[in-house]
Amino acid sequence: ARSNAELEQFAFIASHDLQEPLRMISCYAQLLEKKYNDKLDKDAREFIWFIVDGAHRMQQLINELLIYSRVNKNVKPFTLVKGQKILMDSLKNLEFKIKDTHAKVNYDPMPEIIADASQLTQLFQNLINNAIKFTKNVPEVNITVSENLDEWIFSVADNGIGIQNDCLESIFEIFRRLHTREEYCGSGIGLSICKKIIERHKGRIWVESEVDKGSRFIFTISKYLSRE
Ligand code: ADP
């Protein structure tokens, strides 16, 4: 618990303090491009493009690190939330990706549950985003919900590339990725954010998968969360 708290604190400070110098790099690179465009040759413009692209990716990484470090920080209280609205919000946030990839997303009607609405939206968004991303086919995503006495059980299944057996647990660790950025973009932070969110909701998250067939991410949320 202590090393987790330290990691969170470190992630927060590092990501927060990195923002300012990064902003400077990207601002001045863009200024160079704008002001001296007609004086620069093709090579120089390409080099500036690499700086801007690198800075942009680093900004995304920092944003995700900040989300990771804030899962347990100044959190909103649990409230009764409409699962259906949460799912619709996360699909809306992925609207362009879903359109671009012609993904088909099927879902059960979602229940009302006690949870942190913005964290639950983030959770669905990360899992659906991965379901659409890690595939060579037209993505098909199936989202289900069931319940037992103590918990809600959700699943997000895809028809993607799948995950080999010996990596089913390690992918939830921060920065763990099974592919290069050239194959599939990403930073390896998404699933560790999911895990943290689920831990706050007193649940569990795991994945079942078959290589080349697809993956099913399953997570539970306790029914005993109290509205704070
Ligand atoms: P990112 O998506 O930024 O790489 P994540 O933490 O979301 O980071 O995922 C970690 C790794 O787990 C991914 O890089 C990928 O190798 C694997 N992974 C996650 N979701 C899926 C999925 N639906 N199908 C196949 N592999 C996945």
Query: For atom 11 of ligand 1, which residue has the closest CA?
Result: 177
The CB of 190 under 6 Å from ligand 1? The reply is: yes
pLDDT under 70: residue ranges of the chain = 228
**pLDDT given for residue 227 in this prediction:** 77
**pLDDT given for residue 228 in this prediction:** 62
First to last CA, the chain: 22
**pLDDT given for residue 173 in this prediction:** 94
The CB of 181 under 6 Å from ligand 1? The reply is: no
The whole-angstrom separation of Cα 18 and Cα 57 is: 13
3-state secondary structure 134-178: CCCCCCEEEEEEEECCCEEEEEEEECCCCCCHHHCCHHHCCCCCC
Q: How far is the CA of 14 from the centre of ligand 1 (A)?
A: 23
Could you identify the atom of ligand 1 that is nearest to the CA of residue 179? 16
The CB of 216 under 6 Å from ligand 1? The reply is: no
Helix (H/G/I), strand (E/B), else coil: 226: coil
Q: How far is the CA of 177 from the centre of ligand 1 (A)?
A: 6
**pLDDT given for residue 181 in this prediction:** 85
The CB of 29 under 6 Å from ligand 1? The reply is: no
171 Cβ contact list (under 8 Å, min separation 6): 163, 178, 191, 207
Read off the pTM: 0.91
Query: For atom 23 of ligand 1, which residue has the closest CA?
Result: 131
Helix (H/G/I), strand (E/B), else coil: 7: helix
